[in-house]
Chains A and B, each alone.
Chain A
Amino acid sequence: MSATTQTASDAPATGTVDAGEIAKFEAMAAEWWDPKGKFRPLHMLNPCRLDYIIAQVAAEFGRDPDQPRPFEGLRLLDIGCGGGLLCEPMARLGAIVTGADAAAGNIPVAAVHASQSGLDIDYRHATAEALADAGEQFDVVVNMEVVEHVADPLAYLTACRRLLRPGGLMVCSTLNRNPKSYMVAIVGAEQVMRWLPKGTHDWRKFITPDELFALLRGAGLEPVDRKGFVFSPLAWSWSLSDRDLSVNYVTTSVKPVD
C-alpha cells in the first residue's frame, strides 16, 4: 500500500521462481487475504471502496453494473495494489487490470493469489512515474490511500494524469488533515486499536479535500466528485457519506478530452 520509494529502475519481479519461493509467496498471499489478519482494516474498508469505484466507473462509461462483467474491455490501473484486494474484483467485473506496486515483494504475492483465483492480472513492480514514462495509458486509474505517502503529491498526480487516456477517470482517496483525523487515524487506529502499525501514517502529510482538489486541478485533472468513508462502530462497517469527509474520503476526477 505504500508508494513512498519511487524508483523506476528496479527490474519487474516476474519470470521463473523456485518452489520454495512460491510457498513463501502463497503464505504471504494468505496473510494479505485473511480478513482477520494484518490487513483487516483494508478488508473492512474494501466493500465501501469497491462500491464507490464501481458506481463512478459505471456512470462515466455508461455501463450497467447489474450486467455480468460490466467493465468488459476497460483498461484499469491500480497504483499501490498490495496483495490485489482491488485488482481481483475489478478483473472479475471484466476489466483488463494492471496492478502496480513500488514494493517489489507484493508483486509475486499478488500474482500467486490471482492465479489461485483463476484471474488474469498484469502485476508489475513499477511506479506511476515509470509507467507514465513508458507511455502506458488506461481508461481508469485507481489510486487509493497512496497520495498521503508520496514525497511530492503534485508530481505524483501529474504522472497519474499522464497515465489516463483523454476522457479517462481517476479515483483517488486519502485522509483529511484536522484534529479529528489525528485522533481517529493516528491515536485511534495506530495507538489504541492497533489496526495499523505505528508510523504507518504521518498526519502532517494528510491532505484536506480542498487541497486535494487544488492539486488535482494543478495536475491537469478535473475533479467531479468527493465523498466520505465513514466507519460506524455499531454496524462495524464502513459506508459512503455525502457530508462527512472529516477523516477518510475519496474523490473522482476526469482527464479533459482536449
Chain B
Amino acid sequence: MDERIDMLIVGGGLVGPALALAAASAGLRVRVLDAAPAAALADPEFDGRAYAVAAASRRMLRALGLWAGIEGAAQPILQVKVSDGVAGRGAAPLFAHFDADELGEGPLGHIVEDRFLRRALLAAMAESPLVTVETGARVIGQAEVPGGVEVTLADGTTRCARLLVGADGRGSQVARRAGIGRTEWAYRQTSLVAALEVERPHEGIAQQMFFPDGPLAILPLTGNRVSIVWTEDTTRAAAVQAMDDDGYLAALRPCFGDFLGQIRLAGKRYAYPLGLSLATRITAPRLALAGDAAHGIHPLAGQGLNLGLRDVATLAQVLAEAHRRGEDIGAADVLERYRRWRQFDIAALATATDAINRVFSNANPLLRLGRTLALGAIEAAPALRRRLMREAMGTAGDLPVLLQGRAL
C-alpha cells in the first residue's frame, strides 16, 4: 500500500483528469497514469473534435475552477434546430427549435474544442499539490492486494492505491483485465469530422439534421467557424473521405445547405467509425469505470462527454463523502453507491440515443412522415420541449452537487 495515494486513474484524456481534480478538491490524493508521452498530452494538435458542454457540465467545470480558462474559447449555443433532412433538398419544412431565451437559464450549452479542454485540465493538474501525472506509463497488469489495488507498468514497476479507476476509453484494458465484458454493436456508420470556415455568422445556432444515412450536426465554434459531425453509412463515408477537399465540400453542400453562405475547410478531416460500447458492469473489487470505458454512446446528441462528466461528478461525490466519513474509498459498499446512482442514467441515455438514431437513419416514407410529425409536435408543445431541453442540458434528475455548480 502506498500510503500517499488514494486513487490511481488510468487514462489522461478528459474524464480521467476531470475526476482527478474533482477528487482532489475533496482532499483525495490522486495519481493519473497515461501511456502517451508527455509532449503528446501537453500539446494536442487540433483534430477537429469539439464537444457540446451542457449547462450542468459547465457549472461543474466552474465549481472546479476550470471554466475561467476555457470560457474564452467556448462558443455559447443560443439555439438548437433539429430537422428532418431530405438528401439534395436540405431541411424539411417542419423542425424542432430550442431557444435558450425560452428557458431563461443562460446558453443551452457551449461548444468547446477538445484541445482547449485538455490544456485547461493539464494546467490545473500541474498546479494541484494532490494530483500527480505520470506520462509514458503503460499499465500492463492490475491485482487486488490486502486493503488496496496494485498496478504494474510496462517497465516492471508497480503503483498502489486504495482504488483504481479505468478512464481509458471504450477499448478499456482496465475493464478487460478485471474480467468486465462489453455489450457492443457497430452502426455501419462513420462520422466525418471537420472544422469549416463559413461566410455568414452562425449566431450561436447548432443544427442537427437527420438524413436517411445518418445525422449531420453543425456546431458553432468561436469566430466564423463551425465543426461538422457528418455521419454517413461506412461505405459512402470512406468514399467521401477519399475525395480531395473540393470533392468533399461538393458532397457536403447538398446536406449542409447554403444558410451560412460559402464554406471552406479550416483544418484536417477525420473519420470515426461509430458504435455503442457498454461495459456490463461499472464496478469490480477495488475498481470503478468512468467515461467511455463505462459507456461509449453514439455521439449524435453531443452527450458523450456530458455523460462522462456525470460519472465524474457522481463518483467524486461518493468518494468525497466516504473520505469525510473515514471509510475505505475502495471498499465494495462505497463502489456500490456509485453503481446504483449511475446505472439508470447510463442505460436510459444509451437506449434513447440508439433508438433516435435507428428511427431517424431510415428512408422509409412512413417513418419519415411519423418523425416529421413528431418533430413538429415538439415544436408545438412548449412543456415537452422545455423538458427535452433540460434533459439535454443535463439539469434533470437527481444531480450530484458538482453538476449543480457547488463545490464538494
Contact = CB atoms under 8 A, between A and B. Distances in A.
B45 interface: no
Contacts of B325: 47, 50-51, 54, 89
Nearest to B327: A89
Nearest to B324: A65
A34 interface: yes
B327 A35 contact: no
B336 interface: yes
Nearest to A67: B27
Interface stretch (A90-98, A124-132, A168-176, A244-252): A90-98
B138 to A, nearest CB: 28
Interface string B301-318: 000000000000000000
B336 A118 contact: no
A88 B147 CA distance: 12
A88 B326 contact: yes
B397 interface: no
Given A50-B325, A50-B326, A118 B147 contact: yes
Interface in A48-75: 50-51, 54, 65-66, 68
A65 B327 CA distance: 13
B333 interface: yes
A53 to B, nearest CB: 9
Nearest to A69: B326
A35 B326 contact: no
Given A68-B27, A116-B146, A33 B326 contact: no
B126 interface: no
B331 interface: yes
Contact of A90 (B3, B146, B147, B326): B326
Contacts of B328: 88, 92, 117
Given A116-B147, A118-B147, A89 B332 contact: no
A217 interface: no
A43 interface: yes
A50 B328 CA distance: 13
B367 interface: no
Contact of A50 (B147, B327, B336): B327
Contacts of B336: 35
B1 interface: yes
B333 to A, nearest CB: 4
Nearest to B328: A117
A33 B334 CA distance: 12
A236 B337 CA distance: 10
Contact of A66 (B1, B324, B331): B324
Interface residues of B, number: 16
Contacts of B321: 47
Interface in A11-56: 33-36, 43, 46-47, 50-51, 54
B147 A89 contact: no
Nearest to B1: A118
B61 to A, nearest CB: 22
Nearest to B335: A35
B326 A89 contact: yes
Contacts of B27: 66, 68
A91 B333 contact: no
A51 to B, nearest CB: 7
A36 B333 CA distance: 8
A43 B333 contact: yes
A33 B146 contact: no
Interface string B58-91: 0000000000000000000000000000000000
Contacts of A50: 325-327
Interface in B2-31: 3, 27
Contacts of A46: 327, 333
B3 A118 contact: yes
A116 B331 CA distance: 13
A54 B327 CA distance: 12
A35 B324 contact: no
A92 B326 contact: yes
B2 to A, nearest CB: 10
Contacts of A92: 326-328
B332 A91 contact: no
25 contacts: A33-B331, A35-B331, A35-B333, A35-B336, A43-B333, A46-B327, A46-B333, A47-B321, A50-B325, A50-B327, A51-B325, A54-B325, A65-B324, A68-B27, A88-B326, A89-B326, A89-B327, A90-B326, A92-B327, A92-B328, A116-B146, A117-B328, A118-B3, A118-B147, A236-B340
Given A47-B321, A117-B147, A118-B1, 16 more contacts: A35-B331, A47-B325, A50-B326, A50-B327, A54-B324, A65-B324, A66-B27, A68-B27, A89-B325, A89-B326, A89-B327, A92-B326, A117-B328, A118-B3, A118-B147, A236-B340
